[in-house]
Amino acid sequence: MKKVIILGATSAIAQATVRLLAARGASLYLVGRNAENLEAVARDAATRGAPKVEFRALDLNDCDAHASLVERAWQALGGLDGAVLAHGVLGDQDASQRSWAAAEVVLRTNFLSAASLLTELANRFEAQKAGTLVVISSVAGDRGRQSNYVYGASKGALTVFLQGLRNRLAKSGVAVVTVKPGFVDTPMTAHVPKNKLFATPEQVAKGLLRAADGRKNEVYVPGFWALIMLIIRSIPEPVFKRMKL
């Protein structure tokens, strides 16, 4: 990945990824909502060695703007060979249960906007028969739980969408990499008491790039989450539905 668009570039995991890419000499097109913060990330990347860094402030829930966004990034970097989708919201499960409006924001941000962006990017990558699409999903998408099933559903839908896309693009040589982090110590989880299961954004960024380099399909980061989720997925539904999860 030498010419990469980063969606949700102000996310903690995205910033750590941007640093690693900058150190490798990749050119970057950064997209996020807050222009001031985006500029801070862009300057950091440029100072750390990215030969070219541009940024654009945009609410990614505005799906109508996606085609022109990708076109602009394409022009700015002279083509793209990589994309990292990192934007997302955790939402508040209680609020999502009480009001559909709250739930819809979570589904729109984590699934619909990602699906729209991926449609745009996949078609271009398919045409050039090259490129890597790296998308941050979540372990939460592996099984619905009462404590965060709206977020989980948005990520589960994303994971399934990516499986289909991977299947479609395999013959074109385009890699579709699904990254499923467990708990990560970022502003998204600032309110959650931390324990040993928490990874740093830097660890996740390293795992993410390792997966991208290896053109992996689905990875858990850190890897031990594969085991945890295997156990969680294998609990029979009649038992699972009675558990406090």
Partner 1 sequence: MSPSDSWGRFPRVEQRTRSLVWRSDALPKVDGPVLPHGLGRSYGDSCLNAGGTLLLTPGLDRLIDFDAATGVVRCEAGVSLDTLLRLCVPRGWFLPVTPGTKFVTVGGAIANDVHGKNHHRAGTFGRHVRRFELLRSDGSRRMCAPDENPDWFGATIGGLGLTGLITWAEVQLAPIRNPFVMQETVPFDNLDGFLRVSAESEADHDFTMSWVDCLARGKKLGRGLFYRGNFAPSQFERLPLAKSHLSHGTGLAVPMDLPGFCLNRLSVSAFNFLYYHRQRGRPSRQLVHYDPFFYPLDSVYGWNRIYGSRGFLQFQCVVPHATARDALKELLERSARGGLPSFLSVLKTFGDLPSPGWMSFPRPGFTLALDFANRGEKTWRLVEELDRVTREAGGAVYPAKDARMSPESFAAYFPQRDRFAAYIDPAFSSSFWRRVNPVSLPMPSLEGRGDSAVPPASLLALR
Ligand X SMILES: NC(=O)c1ccc[n+]([C@@H]2O[C@H](COP(=O)([O-])OP(=O)(O)OC[C@H]3O[C@@H](n4cnc5c(N)ncnc54)[C@H](OP(=O)(O)O)[C@@H]3O)[C@@H](O)[C@H]2O)c1
Q: Is 199 in the site for partner 1 (CB under 8 A)?
A: no
Strand order in the sheet with 175-181: 53-57, 27-32, 3-7, 82-85, 132-136, 175-181, 218-221
Q: Which residues contact 51 (CB under 8 A, 6 or more apart)?
A: 25, 27
> C-beta of 10: minimal distance to partner 1 in Å?
8
Q: Which of 17, 27, 138, 178 binds ligand X (CB under 6 A)?
A: 138
Burial class (CB in 10 A: 0-12, 13-18, 19+), 115: middle
Q: Is 203 in the site for partner 1 (CB under 8 A)?
A: no
Q: Which of 3, 5, 10, 159 binds ligand X (CB under 6 A)?
A: 10
Q: Specify the DSSP element, H or E, that contains 219.
A: strand 218-221
CB-nearer residue toward partner 1: 37 or 119: 37
Residue whose structure tokens are 């913060």: 37
CB-nearer residue toward partner 1: 38 or 221: 38
CB-nearer residue toward partner 1: 43 or 98: 43
> CA–CA distance from 243 to each of 45, 153, 240 (Å)?
45, 18, 5
Contact letters for ligand X, residues 172-201 (x by CB under 6 A): ---------x-xx-xxxx------------
With both helix axes pointing from N to C terminus, report the angle between 100-107 and 149-169 in degrees, rounded to the nearest 10. 30
151 catalytically annotated: yes
Interatomic CA distance for residues 203 and 205, integer angstroms: 5
Kindly list the residues in this chain that would bind partner 1 in the complex (CB under 8 A): 12, 36-37, 40-41, 43-44, 47-48, 187, 190
Binding footprint of ligand X on the chain (CB under 6 A): 8, 10-13, 32-34, 59-61, 86-89, 109, 136, 138, 181, 183-184, 186-189
Supply the residues annotated as catalytic: 151
